[in-house]
Amino acid sequence: MNASIRNYVLRPAALADLDAIVALVGSLTDSLTSLPQEPDFILRRIHKSMHSFYPHVDAPGSEQYLFVLDGPDGVVGISAIIARVGGYQPFYTFEITHEDFTHGPLGIAKKIPTLSLKLNHDGPSEIGSLYLHPNHRRDGLGRLLSLGRFLFMAQFPHRFRGQTLAELRGYLDENGDSPFWQRVGKPFFETEFTDADFLSGLGNKSFIRDLMPRHPFYTNLLPPDVQEVIGRVHHQTEPAKALIEAEGFSTINEVDIFDAGPILQAETRSIRTIAARRNFRIAGLVDEEALPGTPWHAANRALEFRACIARAEVEEGKCLLSSRAAQTLQLGLGDTVQLAPARPPSAVTSS
């Protein structure tokens, strides 16, 4: 394991992280829909996240858990979990359905895709707000930032729904414009894609309810270049899509209402990291170099969550853990650590 990743930890965002998160989000060329480049909004988001980690949560509600990846250079990444989409502010998508058109005498039998606005007030959990600074996209740090949060879900399943979705960034052209928005959204909203995306990120959903097309429409009436981007991800999002597909997520028949990006979903308990996660009692703390080189995602079991990349040797409910990892996780001899393979078995074998 590369020594450069030993001092990185995934943990809940704190008020002291505000400036670092603002700077990190400000380095984006495209904004995160769920985390606009607004310091006041980010401050409120941190406050909401801190409240979400409070102990007395019995069922998934409006909680929004914000995590940061912290290392020697400070905060270099963010990711989040929303306990339940919908609620007071509905979760909007376009649902893809098909309508049959047949005529025997002419030998015509076809299914035409349609898009219909869908509102969900009681939806699944959602993972999102994933961003890792380009200078740190190495040595499995992106995997830790994305997959490490599943260990929090594994430890506190009552805080999350039985299904988890991921709404991925849709295709944008070389000018940063969404072909789908230009043809479908802009004629109704009379605003640019980035402006609508920004308003949605701030939580202003009323304009969607008032202005979005209310009736289904046939996608074959759209220009071919618009049809082909429905369900297509932004090129920078392709690695994230492949990562969660390897975790068991698959596309559903819904897309984002602004850029037609794909929506993937999985049964929460069947997500690879959650299903593979096991608890081990720490039977010994040893030097990292004395342990096998296969990386694990390791985490404590506390609401003061910590996760890192670690080396470990496991056997029958107990493990030897590196002293460095134990210190990062704020654990000691005899404590219990969560461990999940950092990569699927096939990926480990082929690498």
Tell me how far apart the alpha carbons of residues 161 and 189 are, in angstroms, rounded to a whole number: 33
Record the tokens describing residue 76, joined without a space: 């270099």
Enumerate the β-bridge partners of residue 309.
297
Tell me how far apart the alpha carbons of residues 286 and 311 are, in angstroms, rounded to a whole number: 10
Contacts of 254 (CB under 8 A, 6+ apart): 93, 94, 95, 96, 118, 263
Nearest to 67 by CA among 149, 190, 138: 149
Helix (H, G, I), strand (E, B) or coil at 145: helix
CB–CB of 260/96 below 8 Å? no
Catalytic residue among 121, 234, 235, 297: 234
Helix (H, G, I), strand (E, B) or coil at 172: coil
User: Count of CB atoms within 10 A of residue 134's CB?
Assistant: 10
In the 8-state DSSP scheme, what is residue 233? B
Q: Does the active-site annotation cover 133?
A: no
Contacts of 197 (CB under 8 A, 6+ apart): 31, 33, 258, 259
Residue type, 66: L
Enumerate the β-bridge partners of residue 118.
93
Backbone angles phi, psi at 155, to 5 degrees: -75, -30
Residues with catalytic roles: 234
